[in-house]
Amino acid sequence: MIDDGHPLEASLGYDFADPSLLELALTHRSFTAEEDAEESNERLEFLGDAVLGLIVSTELHEAWDLKEGEMAKVRAAVVNEATLATVARSIGVDEAVQISRGEDASGGRHKPSILADAMEALIGAVYLDGGLEAARRVVLGRWRPIIADRAASPGERDYKTRLQEVLAREGLLPVYEVAGSGPDHSRMFEAAVRVGGEILGHGVGSSKKRAQQAAARAALEARGVADA
């Protein structure tokens, strides 16, 4: 059993009144087949998916002046497996998720699908334990900057998310480095995207975001991704 004061509670910014919900959210189906566990996190994952969609949709409706089609594009860009897996890694789900020994040996802790499912299950668990407002605080604590990044330019092609999705299949996470130059009135930015010590692409732009998008596009083209 997971004890009170589990490190994931600090990362989430939420203390569970019922710690068994936290344990269930972190229980992958492979673990139930190998250990003495009656239920996996699949039902909580289903619930969490709906809660996350509602919270993100509400934030877009209340905080951003976007058309319906634009809101749909932003929601799709921020509520997907790659983003969920990235958020999951950032709070330590990869270390906390309970998976079978075989799944662990095959790199299961780094699989985007397992991490994304566990993240959705955690959101569902918070909702059941503390209600919608608690779930909203947890979600927006992690998703609000992601939403803002996409909602600021909903019509632009999102190469950063596409690259993130491609790399997530390999258990990799891109890191961006950005430097600016020139006077304030005509400042230019140069970005590099890398994985570990390998630079995947460079890009320039009139803002940090545009430079990062250009670098991501270059990385996708270098990897031969058809829709880059």
Q: Which residues are tagged catalytic?
A: 49, 120
* Strand, coil or helix: 199: strand
Tokens found for residue 38:
């009656």
Question: What DSSP string describes 26-66?
Answer: TB-HHHHHHTT-S--SHHHHHHHHHHHHHHHHHHHHHH---
Q: How far apart are CA 105 and CA 155, in angstroms?
A: 42
Among 139, 92, 137, 122, CA closest to 23: 122
Q: Which of 46, 34, 39, 6 is nearest to 24 (CA)?
A: 39
Q: Round to whole Å and give the CA distance between 199 and 202.
A: 8
Q: 93-112 burial, b for 16+ CB within 10 Å, e for fewer? A: bbebbbbbeebeeeebbbbb
